Amino acid sequence: MLITPLFPVEPWAVREPAFDLAALPQTESVFALSNGHIGLRGNLDEGEPHGLPGTYLNSLYEQRPLPHAEGGYGYPETGETVINVTNGKLIRLLVDDEPFDVRYGELRSHERELSLRDGYLKRSVEWTSPAGKTVSVVSTRLVSMTHRAIAAICYEVTAVDRPARVVVQSELVANEQLPGAGADPREAAVLTLPLRAEERELHETRALLVHSTRRSGLRVGAAMDHIVVAPGEVWTGMNGSEDTARFTATTRLEPGQSLRVVKFLAYGWSSQRSLPAVRAQVEAALVGAKATGWDGLVSQQRAFFDEFWDRADVDLDGDPGVQQAVRYALFQVLQASARAEHRPVPAKGLTGPGYDGHAFWDAETFVLPVLTYTEPDAAADALRWRHKILPTARARAQQLLLNGAAFPWRTITGPECSGYWPAGTAGFHINADIADAAIRLVDATGDLEFERQVGIELLVETARLWRSLGFHDQAGDFRIDGVTGPDEYSAIVDNNVYTNLMAQRNLAGAVDAVGRHPDRAAELGVTYEEVAAWRRAAERMFIPFDEVRGVHPQAEGFTDHQVWDFDNTPPERYPLLLHYPYHDLYRKQVVKQADLVLAMHLRGDAFTAEQKAANFAYYEPLTVRDSSLSACTQAVIAAEVGQLDLAYDYLGEAARMDLDNLANNTGSGLHIASLAGAWIALVAGFGGMRDHGGKLTFAPRLPTSLQRLTFTMCWRGRRIRVEIT
């Protein structure tokens, strides 16, 4: 497929040089700004036209019924969906009473630039109204990394050729009208009017709206304040309703004169605090931001990103497109997590409503490894969120008649929200993925206090799950039957190799952690007999192997299935899940996303070099591109087995997934795990970085297309710089 790049290749920016109406849904996601707490889609300041309006707060959701055509034991009855909260991005412009709209008049120039160094989005426009008045508009938007609750916009309009009376309307709007959902089941459910008004305060330049969600009972406050600068007299006013607040500033500009409006936004929400407490929280954040001022926020933002790039940058020679993409990827992974602070990293970050805003295993398996080596505090916070939802995970395990904790396949606050029962009731590998992330973080940071407070309980409860889920057969081997592995084109299988190997790491990790913290283990009720059972299960974990074909089956019996008829599957019938029944996918050898190959990456210590080469050769033609999670893993193992050109192709796919809209669904939000995969493909693939057994090793290998690769990592309180030529 020939891709026409929408964004010129630049090392430190993503820039749209001209307005493209058809690409609006994609660019709104690509230009999204976030700090892990607040997320603003890259909508135009004036709000229209739009692909999908979006302002999100991490973990602010609404409940919705989760109906099943046929019920079953353990099926979740209620889902959680991220909602579009009060929109504070809106700044409308009228020139002599004619509204600025890119679809009318003459759009003489239009450029948007996302600065990866500065952490803001800048828009520059020159527009001639239908009456012939030309103005230029420069708008700069940021979501602060240093003030968790704050976003800000600097909006400047200049008369170009003739005098003009300009009116700027800055708004807060709750319960925006949203476009209907499409046919893709991955899109979010549309919730109508999710917010109920509770309080409104309007002052000269400041406004505050407080709402609560109708079902989940969450309270959210949004506030705005303004600073106006103009060469002459400016008239200002404030008005509003239950769901809106509008600040207006108007003045007459001579050619060359400008009206500048700086808008400060503050957000806060709580499931427990009273209305006065939420209001006070938002007002305090707004006062702090206004005291810092626009220039202060910009300066702090640049300092934050300077520090981040100093410890996380990836620099390469040979492919400017990949260079741009990997920096963009790191930028968005940071935005999805930096200030999440004990809340999840959703699959789409805070860039869109795709997957209902849920967090999956993607976070621990793809995003947290990147954060562990570039922003370890954010990785620790994501695991603290998992620790916080342990009571719900324990209750889910009890419901499933298991011990320990069964973490949800998809969720926002902890309850299982998956209506896809093979994952929601059998995708147990997510428990080992969480344990893997906790083990890796402690190995990389040496933070035994984190292990004592958070990690050991995660490891103990997930180890208990595996011990109750699996069993020792007559030969003494430990089997785990009836599970769904990472590949969603297989379901309810016995002894999925990925699941068994990750459970083995989980069990062994629990044994080690208990040995380091015996007093904490005693508090958790861990017994000697329990530890001995974990150790024996890990030592006797059954890993199936197909002696006839000389490869590991993805799961027991997988290699005996009929191979999917790839030759007679036309390109337009991908992704397969939208065009073929699952029963057909389940009984064929076809892989949606890397499964056995992922095991060879994360548990590479369990395979010989010969096994890796044979396994990769077998599974490569079976793996389709129906998941954005495959490309980076395929790149890592292709590089390890010496197929460097193939690895390089997969790198490009992972790196440019959203910049080039390769899956045609970037409009519903970015693929945060695939973005993280760009870093993984470079650092673990061509850098050969492995972290088995608490040791960091490198086996670099570059494709001919790359002449140099340099990256920086955090390791036990130090920064390591690796350069490969």
Q: What is the Cα 420 distance to its own chain's centre?
A: 21
DSSP state, 364? Answer: I
Contacts of 506 (CB under 8 A, 6+ apart): 431, 432, 435, 436, 459, 462, 463, 466
- 723 assigned to active site: no
455 touches 524 (CB < 8 A) = no
Look-up of token digits 């993607």: 362
Pairing of strands 562-563, 588-589: parallel
Catalytic residue among 488, 530, 556, 640: 488
275 touches 232 (CB < 8 A) = no
Q: What values do phi and psi take at 46, rounded to 5? A: -80, -5
Look-up of token digits 């200049």: 158
321 touches 660 (CB < 8 A) = no
Token pair for 78: 């209620």
500 touches 489 (CB < 8 A) = no
Q: What length is written for the chain?
A: 725
CA separation for the pair 484, 469 (Å, rounded): 13
CA separation for the pair 534, 518 (Å, rounded): 15
Neighbours of 416 (CB within 10 A): 26
Host H or E run for residue 301: helix 275-312
CA separation for the pair 247, 259 (Å, rounded): 14
Host H or E run for residue 240: strand 235-240
456 touches 493 (CB < 8 A) = no
Q: In sequence order, what DSSP letters do the residues of 421-478 get, joined into one string?
A: HHHHTT-THHHHHHHHHHHHHHHHH--HHHIIIIIHHHHHHHHHHHHHH-EE-TTS-E
318 by DSSP, 3-state: which? coil
| Helix, strand and coil percent figures for the chain, each rounded to 5 | 35, 25, 40
Token pair for 616: 């990769």
Host H or E run for residue 334: helix 320-337
Q: What is the Cα 601 distance to its own chain's centre?
A: 21
CA separation for the pair 37, 350 (Å, rounded): 8
227 touches 285 (CB < 8 A) = no
CA geometry: angle 652, 641, 367, nearest 5 deg: 50
Q: What values do phi and psi take at 196, rounded to 5? A: -110, 125
Host H or E run for residue 251: strand 244-253
611 touches 641 (CB < 8 A) = no
- State the number of CA atoms in the 13 A half-sphere of 74 facing the CB: 17
CA separation for the pair 562, 609 (Å, rounded): 27
528 touches 495 (CB < 8 A) = no
CA separation for the pair 592, 604 (Å, rounded): 21
Q: Strand (E) positions, 58-194?
A: 61-65, 78-82, 91-95, 98-99, 106-115, 120-128, 134-143, 150-159, 164-173
Residues marked active site are found at 488
